[in-house]
Amino acid sequence: MDDLVVVGAGPYGLSIAAHAAGAGLGVRLLGRPMASWRDHMPGGMYLKSEPWSSNLSAPGGRHTLADYCATLGLTAEHGTPLPIGTFSAYGMWFARAAAPAVEEVTVTEVTPHGDGFRVHTAEGPPLLARTVALAVGVMPFVHHPRALRGLPPGHVSHSSGHRDLTRFAGQDVVVLGAGQAALETAVLLAERGARPLLVARRPRLNWNGPPQPLDRSPLRALRAPHSGLGTGWRSWAWSELPWAVRRLPAPTRERIAATALGPAGAWWLRERFEGRVPALLGHRLLRAAAVGDRTRLELADPAWEAVVVETGHVIAATGFSPDLARLDVLDAGLRASLATVGGGGTPELSAGFESSWPGLFFAGLLSAPSFGPSMRFVHGAGFTAGRLVKGDLGRLGTRRARPGSTGAARTDRAPAGHPKTYPR
């Protein structure tokens, strides 16, 4: 039986596995490395975050993005956007250099098994684990607006569903959304010969300003500190104090996770967008219908006047909605028993990222309502990996200790399908 099975091999899964191996745990890492970055982002995209805030995490701070770029004779510079392809390659390099060997299998279900878990895969016999960390990324939580859900597949797709946008050359395409994914997808469509139209509920687009220099006067640095999530005290708090966010009331954490660091485009994209991509701002999508091989969208403008748009395809760049109910890989009974944050569908987590089911840990998007918006970004992987492995060591200690010894494990067992709350 393995000490820890990590499900998912993106930035969070790789970082957790690297720290777990460094702590001496018997760890197995399952999944396709950097899958969402390699398979679900169009060529030509750039990393929005600064290179120095986009590191995966290994013990001792080794194997950074700058280290990888140096092996290629490149410099990861502040204020210079980095191609997504370079970041994906960095993740693959990190997987080889810092993490346990990735087993490219498809996990189909995680179920309780005695004091641990059984991890089923599509490729072979199940694995047994004392603890499990779910770092499944964002793809299980793709969000489509309700009005689009009745359209045939050929009429609508999500922005994460495209590796190559050249297939839309010569076509009309409506892009829904106002964040970086929507804006950059629209720009790339235009640059590849399509005719994009951006439709957004927001009355105006928000654009991030160019980053301030790293070397600044002490007064300027005090007024607007740099952080992994941007410049300013609010961004600094979300970036550097996720442990403090967790101590806030659940409704406050839910609101912060839903609203902080809202949709905005990168400063370097603005010139490529304006004058190139038409936009209907302040327009709400009411209904959508397939009309032959075209799609008809019924919108309401800011004055609630009806607007009809016909297009060849709709791309919903509408983000991701974390919800345990959509996590099919987790046993349904176990999933339904988990304590959640407030009235939402995300797991309430301990300081060590452990859920109310002992030994089951969560990382990434599902942890944002517990620890704040940092968990939506690569930058949060470092905090997560260190805290989660520390929490896992604590859990394994209680399970390994012999009855009668100091810190002995509790031997009382919860009925099947019901979690037992242990001291944290």
82-139 pLDDT tens trace: 999 999 999 999 999 999 999 999 999 999 999 999 999 999 899 999 999 999 999 9
Closest CA to 239 of 249, 248, 231: 231
* CA gap 334, 347 in Å, rounded: 12
Closest CA to 141 of 319, 315, 317: 319
* CA gap 106, 348 in Å, rounded: 26
CATH 3.50.50.60 fits 146-207+264-316, yes or no: yes
What integer best gives the mean pLDDT of the chain? 92
For residue 410, pLDDT over 90 is answered with no
Average of per-residue pLDDT across 315-327: 96
pLDDT of residue 67: 96
Residue 102: enclosing H or E segment and its boundaries?
strand 102-103
Average of per-residue pLDDT across 26-38: 96
Lowest mean pLDDT among 27-36, 228-237, 304-313, 380-389: 228-237
Is the distance from CB of 383 to CB of 366 less than 8 angstroms?
Answer: no
Instruction: Give residue 343's pLDDT band: very low, low, confident or very high (50, 70, 90).
Output: confident
- Name 294's bridge partners: 291
pLDDT of residue 390: 97
For residue 413, pLDDT over 70 is answered with no
Neighbours of 27 (CB within 10 A): 25
Residue positions counted in the chain: 424
Q: Report the percentage of the chain scoring pLDDT > 90.
A: 85
pLDDT of residue 342: 87
* CA gap 77, 37 in Å, rounded: 21
For residue 405, pLDDT over 70 is answered with no
Closest CA to 227 of 380, 62, 83: 380
For residue 415, pLDDT over 80 is answered with no
pLDDT (tens digit per residue) in 214-247: 888 999 888 989 988 989 999 999 999 999 999 9
* CA gap 327, 108 in Å, rounded: 11
Residue 326: enclosing H or E segment and its boundaries?
none
For 146-179, the DSSP string reads: GGGTTS-GGGEEEGGG-S--GGGTTSEEEEE-SS
Average of per-residue pLDDT across 366-387: 96
For residue 417, pLDDT over 80 is answered with no
For residue 74, pLDDT over 80 is answered with yes
Average of per-residue pLDDT across 247-272: 94
Instruction: Give residue 346's pLDDT band: very low, low, confident or very high (50, 70, 90).
Output: very high
For residue 412, pLDDT over 60 is answered with no
Q: Report the percentage of the chain scoring pLDDT > 70.
A: 94
Q: Which CATH number fits domain 2-141+320-400: 3.50.50.60, 1.20.58.1000, 3.90.1150.10, 3.40.1010.10?
A: 3.50.50.60
Neighbours of 287 (CB within 10 A): 13
> Is the model's pTM score more than 0.95?
no
Is the distance from CB of 256 to CB of 244 less than 8 angstroms?
Answer: no
Instruction: Give residue 145's pLDDT band: very low, low, confident or very high (50, 70, 90).
Output: very high
pLDDT of residue 13: 98
Determine the 3-state secondary structure of 99 from DSSP: coil
Ordered by start, the domain boundaries in the chain are 2-141+320-400, 146-207+264-316
Structure tokens at 3: 């000490």
For residue 73, pLDDT over 50 is answered with yes
